[in-house]
Amino acid sequence: MKTAIIFSSKHGTTAKVAEMLAEQLKLDEIKLFNLQHKNEVNLQEFEAVILGTAIYAGRPMKKTKRFIRRNLKTLKTKKIGLFICGMDPGKEKQAEEMRASFPDVLLNHATTKYYLGGEFIFEDLSFFERFIVKKVSKVNKSISLIHHENIKKFVKEFKGETN
């Protein structure tokens, strides 16, 4: 099944997670699109689309929102997977961030949706971002909390494998 993984990533972790998904899905035809570099994707080429975004201040990245708004009608005709990358440890907050990232119609239509964790890479953050992270998350060094288990679950579910 020809599949596109379309994502927005500010500091690279969501891009890394998108690559992990692509590697583990092991599909013959899979293409990755980073919306930071490319605004539009010709969806006619694909039967399945996986959409992902990093979360900042509880919200998805604007480029993902805009892409979905422009392509919602077509997206509803595809097999859909959704993921978000963030660092909030609270399950309820993660669910809220998922709801804030994608319209209900896509959340209901999606085969698979997961929170896949994230990273703080201190060297890559601006002074302001470092300040916020220290204050809000009480973290003052780089940390990787990518949810590898959820990536595996995502892959199985998306491929329709039950166990």
Ligand X SMILES: Cc1cc2nc3c(=O)[nH]c(=O)nc-3n(C[C@H](O)[C@H](O)[C@H](O)COP(=O)(O)O)c2cc1C
Q: How far apart are CA 84 and CA 95, in angstroms?
A: 10
Residues 6+ apart with CB under 8 A from 122: 130, 133, 140, 141, 142
Strands 112-115 and 79-85, sheet pairing: parallel
- Least CB distance to ligand X at residue 28 (A): 27
How far apart are the C-alpha atoms of 47 and 78, rounded to whole Å?
A: 6
Compare residues 28 and 92 and give the one whose CB is closer to ligand X. Answer: 92
The residues pairing with 52 across neighbouring beta strands, listed in sequence order, are: 7, 83
25 binds ligand X (CB under 6 A): no
Count Cβ atoms below 10 Å from residue 119 Cβ, excluding itself.
20
Residue nearest to ligand X (CB): 86
The interface mask with ligand X, positions 66-105, x = CB under 6 A, is: -------------------xxxx--------x--------
Identify the residue among 33, 120, 154, 158 touching ligand X (CB under 6 A).
120
Cβ contacts of 57 within 8 Å, gap of 6 or more: none
Nearer to ligand X, 108 or 142 (CB): 142
Residue type, 14: T
58 in contact with ligand X (CB under 6 A): yes
Q: Check residue 60 for interaction with ligand X (CB under 6 A).
A: no
User: Which listed range, 22-30, 32-40, 52-60, 150-158, lies at the site for ligand X (CB under 6 A)?
Assistant: 52-60
Residues that bind ligand X (CB under 6 A): 9-14, 54-58, 85-88, 97, 118-120, 125, 129, 132-133
